[in-house]
Amino acid sequence: MRYLLLPLAVFFLCQCGAPQPPVCRTLPFGSRGAVEPVMETARRNWDILADPRKKEQWPAAETEYNRAVAILFDKLRCENGDGWSARAAAIGTAISTPDKLHEDPNDQDAVFPATEVRIRSSAKHRVSQGVGIPAVGWTATSPVGVPRPKFHPPNGQVRSLTVTLDFSNKTPQWRFAKRWVTEKLAIGKHGHQLAADWSAPIDFFWDMCELDDLRIQNVLLPERFTEETGLYFLQPYDPKKIPIVMVHGLVSSPDAYRDILNDLSPEPWFREHYQVWLYNYPTGTPWLYNSMRFRQIMNEAGDYVRARGDDHTLRKMVILSHSMGGLLTRAAVTDPSTKFYDSHFEKPFDQLEPTLKPEARELIREGLFYKPLTDPKRIVFMAVPHRGSPMASFRGAAFISNLIRLPKTLTIDLLDATAKSLTDSLEGKVALRKVHPPTSLSSLSPSSSEFRGLNQLPLPEGIAFHSIIGDKGQGDTPKSSDGVVPYWSSHIGPVESELIIPANHAVPNHPEATSEVRRILFLHLEKEGILRPSEKSEPRVARKAYELGKNE
């Protein structure tokens, strides 16, 4: 056994290292040389792009302009100088004044070309051709001991930027376009499409972020991750955009939606109308308890939004949920009546309450008697075990469940509440030490108290529901399964749509799931009546003709 300790220690320590953004310590070889001829090339091609009489020369001019600006950007970020403005002045340029469409590089902890990001898969590399240098902006999280801004990701926020050098004035001006809010660059009187790399910011975010690094520990040692339970805004909050909340499942992280984000980010209508909120939680704790925490944090987000004014987009919220995350979501938006309580306890609460510790009493009130969330208006279930998973009842699952170490405070409260829920225990027929609080795995058993309550609660009215279900090929519906959740558990009604795709339990990773999510999100915008006429006529979206894997 001792021979395994060193490899295990190395494994865990490697996962805990703090990643760092790229740093330019030496000017790249291809960008060395005099500034003047490169600057002249960029200026000459800028003038061509500004002249509609030379439209046939625009493609070549765009290529030459981008090549020259890439060299100048290397000089701007790599050569000696104290700050962006000083380095810009050293090469005869200036940093433009930031505005609602342009970022201030001084507000970023790092800005670097998208080409310096290791792209996870060339087949999934999404780019848009155009003018400028695709770049990534990175704002690190607060230093240790300094409170992190509300809803700020634990490892920082990422921004998709496009760097251009504007020759409209005597002194060329560097501009850092916020690519998620602007599409065009005005050169003269003509608007040119801005270049973009949509995959680089996403891949860099997950390289920097540790939320997806410790999934097994997240299950077995959930106490380590309770501080990272929370809702994270991928971009600064925008009151004009509809929140789309993404809730992951068991042994997972928000990284489950990486492919969906990668495929939807190039869509102008998606970026204009939606903002992404990622929900993260320790998946070792019972799903009903996780649902309570989800409600609490979503209510905090609602208070945050309403304190800043209009909440009309908040009340159009969409939630994407995968696996156990769908149970969190469904319970959070459903009025529980007394169904959850009755499935756990024999006695009425007023008779049970005097025997409970204050912490356990509060846990029951918050977890079983609550007001549901009312802001979500559309929910997508992906491979959700609405009636549990038979795998949670296997002997191996019970063994793993016993390995899970719940937070101490939660263990005490759950043990106290669980003991009170057992008639035999109250009568002294079962020793207290044999009473085990539930874990995420035991709570997923079809025979668990959680499902006895949930199965008595219909889907709430006033919310549109959709199901995307995986079929691993083990049998035709209704005997099919995704390998973890059988169809009889993932099927629920009434829903606006149900789509079965040839996928295993990792449904969000399948391209057909992305296509269906795209359809649902576009449908939601149509139903809410907030699309512009030009967007309504987009044939690629309206007819689902988007070609996955094709670069714009």
Instruction: Kindly state whether residue 357 falls inside one of the protein's structural domains.
Output: no
Same domain? For 275 and 160 the reply is: no
**Domain limit, last residue, from 153, 181, 202:** 202
pLDDT at 416: 47
More confident residue, 548 or 284: 284
Q: What percent of the chain has pLDDT over 90?
A: 53
Average pLDDT, the chain: 81
* Phi (first) and psi of residue 94, to 5 degrees: -145, 155
Decide if pLDDT at 414 tops 80: no
Decide if pLDDT at 389 tops 60: yes
pLDDT at 105: 95
Number of residues in the chain: 552
- The closest of 164, 107, 156, 113 to 136, measured between CA atoms, is 113
Q: What is the DSSP letter of 79?
A: S
Same domain? For 114 and 251 the reply is: no
Same domain? For 458 and 312 the reply is: yes
C-alpha–C-alpha distance, residues 222 and 8, integer Å? 19
C-alpha–C-alpha distance, residues 110 and 122, integer Å? 24
Region 470-498: what's the mean pLDDT? 87
Query: Using one digit for the tens of pLDDT, what is the confidence trace for 31-51?
Result: 889 999 999 999 999 999 999
Same domain? For 238 and 103 the reply is: no
Same domain? For 232 and 269 the reply is: yes
Same domain? For 447 and 383 the reply is: yes
More confident residue, 6 or 312: 312
Decide if pLDDT at 3 tops 70: no
Query: Using one digit for the tens of pLDDT, what is the confidence trace for 117-146?
Result: 999 888 899 999 999 999 999 988 766 667
Same domain? For 267 and 285 the reply is: yes
Same domain? For 113 and 240 the reply is: no
Same domain? For 89 and 235 the reply is: no
What one-letter code names the amino acid at 440?
S
Same domain? For 122 and 138 the reply is: yes
Instruction: Kindly state whether residue 118 falls inside one of the protein's structural domains.
Output: yes
pLDDT at 467: 97
60: containing domain: 23-202
pLDDT at 489: 93
pLDDT at 254: 86
Q: What is the CATH number of the domain that holds 533?
A: 3.40.50.1820
Least confident of 198-207, 255-264, 407-416, 509-518: 407-416
Same domain? For 129 and 71 the reply is: yes
> How many domains does one find in the chain?
2
**Domain limit, last residue, from 169, 202, 235:** 202
Same domain? For 195 and 298 the reply is: no
State the DSSP string of 189-240: TEEEEBPEESHHHHHHHHHH--TTT-HHHHHH-GGGGGGG-EEEESS---TT
Query: Using one digit for the tens of pLDDT, what is the confidence trace for 246-301?
Result: 999 887 788 899 999 999 999 999 999 999 999 988 777 788 888 988 999 999 99
Instruction: Kindly state whether residue 410 falls inside one of the protein's structural domains.
Output: no
Q: How many CB atoms lie within 10 A of CB 416?
A: 21
**270 CB contacts (<8 Å, ≥6 apart)?**
264, 518, 521
pLDDT at 445: 74
C-alpha–C-alpha distance, residues 141 and 516, integer Å? 34
